Amino acid sequence: MTGVLPVALEDATKVVQALLLSGKEYVCVMRLHKKTAEEKVKTVLSEFQGRLLQRPPIRSSVKRRLRIRTVYYMDFLEMQQRDVLLKIGCESGTYIRKICFDVGEVLGCGAHMHELRRTRAGPFTEDENHVTFYDVLYCVSKWRESEDEESLRKIILPMEKALELLPKVHIRDSAVAAVCHGAHLTAPGVLSLETGIEKDDEIALFTQKGEVAAFARALASSKKILTMDHGFVAETIRVMMDRDTYPKMWGKGGNT
C-alpha cells in the first residue's frame, strides 16, 4: 500500500489514538477473476455502501471476530478489462481487501485487491499535506545549514491539525491545569462548544488560545451541556499538554 501515512514526533505521538479513530479514503484497483459486465459491477458495488458486517482476513493484525464498519461512499471511477478502479471512504478499521473479496463473491466471479493507495487519513489528504521522504531530507538539510525553522514548518504541522475533524470544546484557562493533571471536565469549565456532540463521542478539549489540552469522551450531548451548571461533562482520556503549562487554579475558586 502507498499514500498518506501521518507520522507523529515526540509529544505529538499522543494524538495517534485520535488518528486511529479517524475515517480513511482509499483509491483501489480491484481485479476480477473473470470478465463481468460493467453495469453488474456498479450494481453490486452500490450494495457495499453503509454499515457492513465484516470479519478481518486471516492475515490481519486484529482478532478475526465479526464487527460492523461503515463505508461512507464507494465511487466507481473506471473499468478496464478485469480491473476496476474505485474510490472508497470508510470508517477506520475497514479492510478494503476483504471488501474486494466479498464483492467478488457476490458477483460470482471472484475478485481480489490488486493495488491500494490511501488518499486521506483523518484531516490529512494527499493533495494538501503530502510530503515525500525527499522533501523531508531537503528541508532538514536546509535547516542544518542555516537553522532556518521555516523550512521545517513546511513539513511539520502542529498536533492540533490531527484533531481538526474531532468535535471541540473550548475550556476556561482556570480549568486547563486540572484537566492536564487528569481531572474530568465539569460544566463551569466550559467556555464554548460545537453543536452536534452526543454522549460518548470522542472530543478534543481546547484552550481559549486554540491549544489542545486533552482528548476526552463526552458524558453528555451538546444540548445537555449547555443547560448544565454543575457536574461532569467530559471524561479525560489522554492529556496532550504539559501539566505545568497553565497555573493550578483549584482551591482558588477556579473551575474544572
Indicate the range of 119-123, 153-157, 229-233 predicted with least confidence.
Answer: 153-157
Same domain, 63 and 86: yes
Rounded to an integer, the average pLDDT of 235-243 is 91
pLDDT of 142 higher than 90:
no
101 Cβ neighbours under 8 A, 6+ residues apart = 57, 111, 112, 113
Rounded to an integer, the average pLDDT of 97-116 is 95
pLDDT of 144 higher than 90:
no
Residue 136 lies in domain: 127-159
The 3 state secondary structure assigned to 157-198 is CCHHHHHCCCCEEEECHHHHHHHHCCCCEEHHHEEEECCCCC
Structure confidence by residue, pLDDT tens digits, 11-31: 888 888 778 778 999 999 999
* Rounded Cα gap, residues 187 and 246, in angstroms: 19
pLDDT of 8 higher than 60:
yes
Report the 10 Å Cβ neighbour count for 221. 16
Mean pLDDT computed over every residue of the chain: 90
Domain-located, residue 96: yes
Same domain, 98 and 33: yes
pLDDT of 98 higher than 80:
yes
Same domain, 85 and 171: no
Domain-located, residue 115: yes
Same domain, 195 and 138: no
Same domain, 122 and 179: no
Same domain, 152 and 172: no
Same domain, 145 and 120: no
Q: Could you give the angle at which helices 38-46 and 96-107 cross, rounded to 10 degrees?
A: 120
What is the number of alpha carbons within 13 Å of residue 11 lying toward its C-beta? 12
CATH classification at residue 227: 2.30.130.10
The β-bridge partners of 239 are: 214
Residue 150: the pLDDT is: 79
Rounded to an integer, the average pLDDT of 107-128 is 92
Q: Which three cell numbers stand for residue 118?
A: 490511501
CATH classification at residue 89: 3.30.2350.10
Rounded to an integer, the average pLDDT of 89-111 is 94
Same domain, 231 and 175: yes
Residue 149: the pLDDT is: 79
pLDDT of 58 higher than 80:
no
Domain-located, residue 251: no
Residue 255: the pLDDT is: 56
Percentage, residues of the chain above pLDDT 90: 61
Domain-located, residue 4: no
pLDDT of 100 higher than 90:
yes
pLDDT of 101 higher than 80:
yes
Same domain, 20 and 103: yes
Residue 200: the pLDDT is: 94
Confidence bin at 59 (pLDDT 50/70/90):
confident
Nearest to 101 by CA among 90, 88, 114: 114
Residue 256: the pLDDT is: 57
Structure confidence by residue, pLDDT tens digits, 163-184: 888 999 999 999 999 999 999 9
Rounded to an integer, the average pLDDT of 122-147 is 84
Structure confidence by residue, pLDDT tens digits, 72-82: 999 999 999 99
25 Cβ neighbours under 8 A, 6+ residues apart = 87, 88, 89, 90, 118, 119, 120, 125
Helical H segments across 210-251, by residue range: 222-227
